[in-house]
Amino acid sequence: MFAQELVLKQRTEILDALCSSGSAEHLERVLDILLAQGELVWEDYLNVQVAGRALYTNARQLLNLVHPKGVSTCELFLSALKQVLPEVQQSGLTLSGCSLTVGQKEEAQNTPSQTLLARRPNFVNKLQGCIDGALEALVASGHFSSGDCKEVQLPVHTPSQQARRLLDHVRSKGESAATVLLRFIQQTQECESPLNQETLTPPKEALKYQKKLISSVSAHSFFLSTYGGTSHMSLDDIYTEGELELAQHCPNMQGPLGLEDIVGTTGTVNEDADTVLISGEAGSGKSTLLQRLHLLWAQRAAFHDFLFLFPFSCRKLNAEQRELSVQELLFQHCCWPDRQQEEIFQFIVDHPHLILFTFDGLDELKQSFSDEHRLCCPTQQAPVHILLFNLIQGSLMKGVWKVVTSRPEAVGPLLKKHLRKEVLLKGFSPSAVDCFVRKHHSDPTVAAKVLQSLQANTALLGLCHNPVLCWIVSRCHTELLGCGEGSLLTMTDVYLMILQNFLQHQSAPKSTVGLGWIQEHLKTVLHLGQLAFEGLGATCYIFSSTDLETCGVTEKDICMGFLIQTKDMLSTQSKHYEFLHVTIQCFFAALYIILSSDTQRSTIPKLFEMQGVSETCLCCSFFRACLTHDDPQGCVEAEEARAVEIPNLQITAMFVCGLLSQRHHHLWHHCCPSATIQKRVNQVSRCLSKGMQKHFQSIPQPVEGEKKSMHAMPGFIWLIKCIYEMQEGKIAKDAVSKLEVDHLKLTYCNIGPVECTALAFVLQHLRSPVGLELDNNSVGDVGVEQLLPCMHICNSLYLRNNNITDEGISRLITKAIQCDNFRKIALFNNKLTDACTQHFSLLLKTKQNFLALRLGNNNITAEGARQLAEGLKVNRSLQHLGLWGNRIGDAGAVALASALEHSKSLLWFSLVGNGVGNAGACALANIIKNSTSLEELWLTENCITKTGVEYLIQALEYNTHMKSIWLRNNELSLEEVEEIKKRDPRLIF
């Protein structure tokens, strides 16, 4: 049958295959191929891609264009479908028999625009991970405005859609813009070391196996699998990018880290290793990110260098009791080859650089990482955890790329030495929260109302920084919109909301609601609570039917929706279940602790005392002590496992604190005696007080002449969050009543908006002002707003490298102006622009006791310097001004120098790396000449020549108190440097 007839006959099926997922990705990839091959002209493309028009309408328009163009166009169209559509969606379509194959079109004598068009599919793939870098190049060359960049980077677009919009915009700008983009792509390619260093044609059986593997991975990745795949949401439709960062700061990193950068060269710290770790807190989106990676590979939309991808869940590997070889691990747990298994595995062994393994949830493995048992032979059988550990460290299958996810607490130095790099998943940014909510709700009116509620309750907005909490809020939007403003403040509040949502949706129409909704379902709560609690004790997250029966879990309890059937368990003898999310398991465990009569008085103290304990022998004894009925078999299993998982116990303890809050006591009136609840409240209060005192007692005495400081450990942050969950001002006040430090250091503590909310709630009760150092965290604009309640107690605030923008600064300064104690701020390595300087100018004008302003490594230009100068003219107190690493230039330096020329307070001033030349040096010389206070001036890494230095030398003749001027790496020859050094030793080179 001719291709033209095939297109016409299968019109309905083709439309369904292109559009049934709800995502435009398949249609857009087909368009890319047809454009590149010249079968569609640009006007055709614009007629198909009409913004705001329904996907099915756009697809119909494409078919209307393709069919009249003849046989060759229809053949290419069918070939493109065969390349683009996953195998599972090709069923029912006849795509074979097409004589044309899709390849790269010849580029003889092409203009830059024609080259971008002819290689469009390839360039879409390459640009997805470096959109920001390409936009920066186009802005720097003057071809793009900020408005153009915003149009390309709309959060509703997927990375591939952003790449296409970028190419479309460049086309409209002409040949010079196309040249800039081509040069950027070429430079990016030259900086990368391709994974696939050889060209080879895999054997037919390997390619057949690849198709089967792609089909399997696609089927398991197509719908959102996290949170039980609720509502069968297409991953393409709901996926929202979280913030990815390198654990080690990479100065060459351009823009945010993309998904493909995970297996790229960016951020590599150990060239010899081939394991990449993605670490993130519970609910930060690690599993969903891996699922997205799997789907992109299966759709052939990214990760093209890998012929095979093998996905594993450590939670499911826990249940594997047999000893396996690597070959059995791959084929039995992922996808079984129909034939020639030995030959296919040999191909895998011979070409490791073409293979990618992913292991989700290393922290959920019962055994801690160890490199004691070494294996080298991929056909040798061993326990699954030993295979996994040897794969990670490279003893087995050296050269295969491995991507592993875990919570940070489970990753020790023993594992880190085997890592190629570590990537941090930070959860949602505010714009991603907006994007996720809009994707979750098909009705834009509902989405707008949910977002309006979040904006009105910034504590809740901060919680939505965590994707699992964002999902709960979106899922329970009816309850959210029905509650009063500000009523949802804590993580416990959000989980109570989903508990109510699930339970009441299963209630009979005439059942009691309101205060009795938990009592009505108390048996279900206790059954699920016992299962959750005992599961945590055995590091167990997948439960057999026997486990459920032991805890009294019935079919009715399962129907509530908190437990879902686990798919892909190898055993077909019985069903297996897991909680929707590990945090929901922790929540039910906490409910069990406070509501069950089977738990002893020692349960809560032991829950808090276990933090930091790692001895395996205590694992069983802890949970045995918590339950009145001993389970010898469970104890043996616990002893065989690694120590009780501390992070999950910490989450459980936080929920216990939240559930015992005075705000929720009405929920337990008919479920548990009030006296029992009050006893448990008292127990928690004593545990929190005791825990805080231990931290305070560990503070060393200060060195003579220095301030007393406390460098808090992560356990301190956890205690602060527990106190916040209780929402008791008295407990917060008592907790910090004995903290006597001048400086509180909380760097690298993974502090986001949620932690900021808790910190402000507790620290506002400090008796004396304190310097608060939060460098290298994820505070962001939402976190800055959450810190405002404790600003009155801060005399200094350090927020280096925290993704803060001008919006966050606006709110911060408005509050800081009202705080008498506030005198210093450091904000280097953030995302500040000239828009923030008007706020700092107002601060300098208003606060005549302000001492230090450090804004290094941001995006401040000469215009921002002029704004600052307006405030500096009036200020009479500033001692330290740091503006290094910006783009202030000569004009900005002149403005600042004019404002500071007669300063009697400024001691230290830095303009390192600001493009300052001789005109700036001449202006700065006036400060040296006239200021009676300045001691240090930093002008390293600028554009000053000998002429500019002469101005500075002449000014030094009038200044005897000046200590140093730093001039390294300016435009001076070695001979000039040697000569100048002799003239004044205060010039430092």
Which pLDDT belongs to residue 618? 38
pLDDT of residue 229: 59
- The C-alpha atoms of residue 820 and residue 826 are separated, in whole angstroms, by 18
Q: What's the pLDDT band for 102 if we cut at 50, 70, 90?
A: low
976-985 pLDDT, tens digit per residue, is: 999 998 899 9
Task: Tell me which of 382 and 87 has the higher pLDDT.
Answer: 382
* DSSP state, residue 507: S
For residue 650, report the phi and psi dihedrals to the nearest 5 degrees: -65, -40
Full DSSP string of 889-909: HHHHHHHHHHHHTT-SS--EE
| Structural domain spans, the chain | 3-196, 210-425, 445-489, 517-645, 743-988
**Which pLDDT score, from 0 to 100, does residue 171 have?**
86
How many residues belong to the chain?
A: 989
Q: What is the pLDDT of residue 113?
A: 85
Query: Is the Cβ–Cβ distance between 731 and 688 less than 8 Å?
Result: yes
Region 572-576: mean pLDDT is 73
Beta-carbon contacts of 357 under 8 Å, excluding residues fewer than 6 positions away, are 309, 310, 311, 312, 391, 397, 400, 401, 402, 403
Percent of the chain residues topping a pLDDT of 90: 48
Nearest Cα neighbor of 80 from 135, 50, 112, 121 is 121
**HEC string of 742-763?**
CEEECCCCCCCHHHHHHHHHHH
Q: pTM of this prediction?
A: 0.75
Pairwise CA distance, residues 716 & 722, whole Å: 10
Check whether 969 has a pLDDT greater than 60. yes
- 252-282: pLDDT as tens digits: 455 678 898 999 888 888 888 999 999 999 9
Asked if 214 and 87 touch (Cβ cutoff 8 Å), the reply is yes
DSSP letter for each residue of 620-658: HHHHHHHBSS--HHHHHHHHHS-S--HHHHHHHHHHHHH
Q: What is the pLDDT at residue 568? A: 65
Read off the pLDDT of each residue in 766-793 and give the average, rounded to a whole number: 94
The answer to whether the CB of 786 falls within 8 A of the CB of 812 is no
- Residue 114 gets the label, from left (phi > 0), alpha (psi -120 to 50) or beta, of alpha
Tell me, what's the pLDDT at 128? Answer: 76
Question: Which residues, other chains included, contact 63 with Cβ-Cβ below 8 Å and sequence gap of 6+?
Answer: 7, 11, 14, 15
User: What does CATH list as the number for 210-425?
Assistant: 3.40.50.300
- CB 597, CB 379: distance < 8 Å: no
Is the pLDDT at 198 greater than 50, yes or no? no
pLDDT tens per residue across span 5-18: 888 888 888 888 88
pLDDT of residue 99: 46
Specify the 3-state DSSP secondary structure of 544.
strand
Q: Count of H helices and E strands in the chain?
A: 48, 22
Non-local (6+) Cβ contacts of 436 within 8 A are 238, 240, 428, 467, 470, 471, 474
CATH class of 743-988: alpha beta
Closest CA to 45 of 179, 181, 165, 154: 165
Quote the CA–CA distance of 619 and 900 in Å, as a whole number. 64
d(C-alpha 503, C-alpha 525), whole Å? 10
Cα 66 to the center of its chain, rounded Å: 42
Looking up tokens 């040897």, which residue turns up? 390
Give the model's pLDDT for residue 763.
95
Side chain identity at residue 595, one-letter code: L
* pLDDT (0 to 100) of residue 719: 94
Alpha helices in 506-563 (DSSP H): 517-520, 522-537, 545-550, 555-559
Confidence of residue 629 (pLDDT cuts 50, 70, 90): very low
Q: Which of 141-145, 654-658, 673-677 has the lowest mean pLDDT?
A: 141-145
pLDDT in tens, 731-741: 999 988 888 88
User: Which of the pair, 413 or 357, is modelled with greater confidence?
Assistant: 357
Which of 288, 240, 658 lies closest to 465 in space, CA to CA? 240
Q: Which of 847, 892, 889, 850 is nearest to 869 (CA)?
A: 892
- Model confidence at 628, in pLDDT bands (50, 70, 90)? very low
SS3 805: strand
| Cβ(798)–Cβ(775) below 8 Å | yes
Would you place residue 505 in the very low, low, confident or very high pLDDT band (cuts 50, 70, 90)? confident
Could you tell me which of 251, 15, 256, 311 has the C-alpha nearest to residue 136? 256
Sheet containing strand 543-544, edge to edge, reads: 543-544, 576-579, 563-565
Q: How far is CA 225 from CA 219, 235, 320, 854, in A?
A: 11, 8, 21, 45
Q: What is the mean pLDDT of the chain?
A: 86
In the predicted model, what is the mean pLDDT of residues 151-162?
79
Q: Does residue 733 sit in helix, strand or coil?
A: helix
Residues 580/662, Cβ–Cβ less than 8 Å: no
pLDDT for residue 565: 87
Q: State the pLDDT at residue 163.
A: 87
Q: Indicate the Cα dihedral angle 788, 791, 797, 801, nearest 10°.
A: -10
What lies within 8 Å, CB to CB, of 556 at 6+ separation is: 524
Contact 543, 558 (CB under 8 A): no
Q: In this structure, what are the phi and psi dihedrals at residue 406, rounded to the nearest 5 degrees?
A: -165, 160
3-state secondary structure of 239: coil
How are beta strands 355-360 and 308-313 bridged, if at all? parallel
Cβ distance 907 to 934 under 8 Å?
Answer: yes
Give the pLDDT score at 626.
52
Q: Can you tell me which residue has the tokens 């490298």?
A: 801
**Residue 125 pLDDT greater than 50, yes or no:** yes
Which whole number is the average pLDDT over 847-874? 96
pLDDT score, position 507: 61
Rounded-to-integer distance, Cα 278 and Cα 443, Å: 34
Which residue carries 């701020």 as its tokens?
A: 825
H helix intervals, 788-914: 806-816, 837-846, 862-874, 889-900
Report pLDDT for 699. 76
Inter-residue contact 371 to 393 (CB < 8 Å): yes
CA dist., res. 85 & res. 965, Å (int): 64
Average pLDDT of 801-822? 94
Q: Which residue in 330, 299, 144 sits closest to 218, CA to CA?
A: 299
Residue 798 has pLDDT above 90, yes or no: yes
**358 near 403, Cβ under 8 Å?**
yes
Does the structure show a pLDDT above 80 at 615?
no
Rounded to whole angstroms, what are the CA distances from 908 to 161, 350, 895? 48, 61, 17
DSSP state of 243: P
| Cα–Cα distance, 497 to 499 (Å, whole number) | 5
Give me Rg for the CA atoms of the chain. Answer: 31
Given a contact cutoff of 8 angstroms between Cβ atoms, the answer to whether 842 and 872 are in contact is no
Quote the pLDDT of residue 801: 92
Find tokens 């917060």 and name the residue: 732
Does the pLDDT at position 642 exceed 50? no
Residue 70: φ, ψ to 5°: 110, 180
Identify the band that residue 569 occupies on the pLDDT scale cut at 50, 70 and 90: low
Q: Quick check: 746 and 771 in contact, CB under 8 A?
A: no
Q: Tokens 């005198």 map to which residue?
A: 823
| Contacts of 373 by beta carbon, 8 Å cutoff, 6+ apart | 382, 386, 389, 390
Give the pLDDT band (50/70/90) at residue 190: low
Q: What would the mean pLDDT of 651-669 be, rounded to a whole number?
A: 93
Torsion of CA 256, 260, 266, 271, to 10 degrees: 150
**Mean of pLDDT values over 565-587:** 82
* Angle at alpha carbon of residue 702, lines to 696 and 705, rounded to 5°: 150
Measured distance CA(972)–CA(908) in Å, rounded: 24
β-pair partners for 443 = none
How far is residue 577's CA from residue 582's CA, in Å, rounded to a whole number?
12
Average pLDDT of the segment spanning 276-303: 93
Q: Which among 274, 305, 210, 580 has a CA at the least distance from the CA of 402?
A: 274
